[in-house]
Amino acid sequence: MVRRRGQGWYGRMLAAAVGVTAVAAATSVWTAQAGPVERPQTHAGASAPSSSAPGTHSQSRAGAPVSAVIAHASDQGARGVNITIDDGPDPVWTPQVLQVLRDNGVKATFCMVGTQARAHPDLVKAVVAAGHRLCDHTVSHDTTMDKKPEAYQAQEILNAERMITKASGGVRPMYYRAPGGAFTPYSRQLAASHGMRPLGWNVDSKDFERPGTSAVVATVQHEIANGPTVLFHDAGGDRSQTEAALREVLPWLKQQGYSFGFPVH
């Protein structure tokens, strides 16, 4: 089961986001009612919605179709691994995570919280300059947003997209990851209509809970057979265990014959 993390430190970001203007135009485009909570795959054999279902593709900004189905696969195929880094950027930990990735020649996808991106545009630009991809992780990281009105979901997703794009100097996020996996059919379609593929995960490293570096490493080693997309964090508190675990996990994955790529888009 995918856990929902408590909002904790995100409460401060939520307070900072109060007063952000809702994007009313976007809410008028999509009228589908939010359905049951949708969770990313977290174990082998879990199935995502069929990509052939009606209404699961939308046009990207460039005119190419972007699926609204939650992505898990790697563009590197069966032996590919997608490293994803959530909740930053953080002025202490993001530079250290970037250094580990650089040392190992690995590209990752950074799922950024809008208020964090706005506060640290230099780090957003550093992520882009290093060849990593951006992902929209909402304005305030509200893990209950799937229970909120569509207008609120649109505000969280589209205002974060704008914040991240501005902070990056014009590079837009390619993916949307719902906080805690709180996707809805509406939020998936809305993200896809803006060229952002909904992004799940297969392996939760549990680094957010700080169980110890060896425990984080063991979780990834044990669960990597479940699928290619691995979840880590570069914000939300002390991420020294994340940094240390990445220094062990990345070389180990290479030794096992895995290559690193990006989630399918």
> Of 120, 141, 194, 233, which one is the catalytic site residue?
233
Cα 72 to Cα 165, 220, 237, 239, distances in angstroms = 24, 16, 27, 24
In whole angstroms, give the CA distance from residue 93 to residue 207.
Answer: 13
**Token output for 58:** 């939308």
Q: Is 233 a catalytic residue?
A: yes
**Token output for 118:** 């706005």
Q: Is 86 a catalytic residue?
A: yes
Q: Are 206 and 184 in contact (CB under 8 A)?
A: no
Mode of pairing for the β-strands spanning 229-233 and 80-86: parallel
Residues 6+ apart with CB under 8 A from 140: 10, 13, 14, 16, 17, 113, 114, 115, 156
CA of residue 112 relative to chain centroid, distance: 7
> Of 72, 86, 136, 146, which one is the catalytic site residue?
86
Q: Report the 10 Å Cβ neighbour count for 259.
A: 13
In whole angstroms, give the CA distance from residue 186 to residue 174.
Answer: 18
Q: Are 197 and 174 in contact (CB under 8 A)?
A: yes
Q: Are 158 and 133 in contact (CB under 8 A)?
A: no
**Token output for 11:** 């409460």
In whole angstroms, give the CA distance from residue 50 to residue 44.
Answer: 17
Q: Is 180 left (phi over 0), alpha (psi -120 to 50) or beta?
A: left
Please identify every residue annotated as catalytic: 86, 233
